Amino acid sequence: MIRLDDVQIFVQTVDAGSFSEAARQLSIAPGLASSAVQRLEKALGARLFMRSTRSMQLSEDGERYLPHARALLGALAQGEQALAQGRGALTGPLRLSVSSDFGRNLLLPWLDDFQHQHPGLSLQLRISDRAADLLRQPLDAAVRYGALADSGLVAMSLAPDNRRALCASPAYLARHGTPSSVEDLRRHNCLRFVWSEQVHERWRFTLPGGERTVSVSGDRVSDDADVVRRWAIAGEGLVYKSRLDIIDDLVNGRLVEVFPHQHCEPAPLHLVCAERVQLTPALAQLRDFLRIRCDAHAARAPVD
């Protein structure tokens, strides 16, 4: 008989990287964590970890078993949430991955409101401009911009009409002039950010004559898109990012749009989970809540 707590300790050990760290997170003795995984290995008739005195990593059998272990624990949590929903409450963890700028400046206060409405939820938030691996990381969902390359993921639209915006501070434009065409971008200092190890430096536009991509350059690049936005506000160059992220800056005059936003690259916003069975009542309600907030925020944007 496989014990569910052994499965939980196995998954926790994978995520933590060691028995000692998993034990610390679970508030148990390291020996208990090791014994639990050994008991699970015996029940499965398979070796889940390759161990040495200096390292520990998943075996091939461990790699194969891990997604099923996560699914088992996920199904258990969904069952508990279904019972709670029957009593009119959402409970349990809500584990999200979000991008830096949107996460810090918009989503964070929205999630505060959502959690206050559902105090039975415990929020776990990962803010990063690296693409989260929803199949391997302990996450319920991610909030992502752009078209999804992972066709197996389930994407729920939050802001389907959102686009990027090309903008700069009034001070920068006063010093360097306003670009009159996309070709002018080559002579401007363009502030770039890194998304999942790749520098976003090919800026795409939809012009009356068709699609146009411009390779830009500049003296600043960061793997944190919030930092890039702050550089733009400080007058250091042009920035090309989601219009949702910079609406407050546009409204308050900290940034000015250079081109009409309908000419800029689409940047739809999605709530993404690994598979349909992960669409828990908490995620479904969060999706509806965020759609309303995104619509209200987008309505504040200046009209071209």
Extents of the domains making up the chain: 4-80, 89-161+268-298, 164-263
pTM summary value? 0.70
The fold of the 4-80 domain, in CATH, is: Arc Repressor Mutant, subunit A (1.10.10)
Fold match between domain 4-80 and domain 89-161+268-298: no
Binning pLDDT at 50, 70 and 90, where does residue 260 land?
confident
Which is more confident, 23 or 172?
172
Q: Is the pLDDT of residue 84 over 70?
A: no
Q: Is the pLDDT of residue 239 over 90?
A: yes
Which is more confident, 68 or 82?
68
Q: Is the pLDDT of residue 147 over 80?
A: no
Q: Is the pLDDT of residue 72 over 90?
A: no
pLDDT-wise least confident of 2-11, 132-141, 190-199, 233-242: 132-141
For the segment 12-35, the average pLDDT, to the nearest whole number, is 85
CATH number of 89-161+268-298: 3.40.190.10
At residue 96, the pLDDT reads: 93
Could you give the C-alpha distances from 57 to 5, 15, 61, 66, 229, in angstroms and in order?
20, 11, 11, 12, 39
Rounded percentage of the chain residues whose pLDDT exceeds 90 = 49
The fold of the 164-263 domain, in CATH, is: D-Maltodextrin-Binding Protein; domain 2 (3.40.190)
Q: Is the pLDDT of residue 196 over 80?
A: no
Binning pLDDT at 50, 70 and 90, where does residue 85 land?
low
